A and B are shown apart, each in its own frame.
Chain A
Amino acid sequence: QVQLVQSGAEVKKPGASVRISCTASGFTFRKYEMHWVRQAPGQRLEWMGWINAGYGNTKYSQKFQDRVTITRDTSASTAYMDLSSLRSEDTAVYYCARRADWGLYYFDYWGQGTLVTVPS
């Protein structure tokens, strides 16, 4: 069965960077597009960007363009999201999600979420 398993919770100081991993199983990783979505406490879902796991090309939200980098390791079936220059407003749960397929426009599987805390 399809699973997306994310790395554990992180506590980071302001100005630091964080890397979150999302390890896929149960499907051919390189055939899909992996997205990252975050949710601050009590707030809405906020899309951050995606990576085509096969080609490696990316697209980022304008809001995070300067601070986010999404990469992947196809040999490990893992996507990574790096966020730099962290501030207290980046405290959120970060999710990876799989786009259902090329030409389909929805997320069919989500990771369990990773809480990143940046104390003010």
Chain B
Amino acid sequence: SQTIHQWPATLVQPVGSPLSLECTVEGTSNPNLYWYRQAAGRGLQLLFYSIGIDQISSEVPQNLSASRPQDRQFILSSKKLLLSDSGFYLCAWSPPTSPRGTKNTEAFFGQGTRLTVV
């Protein structure tokens, strides 16, 4: 069966410090991978998504970046955190899009990382 691992669960970082959040998926190949951010009491904002290694689309211009060094590994990074980067970061995966684009299935989420920038 497929599993998704996201760590750490909580993180407190000072303003200006770097960030690296890691997400790995097991039990599937060539998944679509996603990073979302959820501010307190708010919706899910899509930050990055990836349909393959080194194929990453950025949805929101900001001081965050994402990398996919391996098929089932997705990393969210920042060189210098801002106070506004605080939030609940969620990694998710979904099965790969079919060649004809006719099959899209559900996303499975990691447990999330609660980031507080102080």
Task: Answer whether A and B are interacting partners.
Answer: no
User: B residues near A, CB below 8 A?
Assistant: none
User: A residues near B, CB below 8 A?
Assistant: none
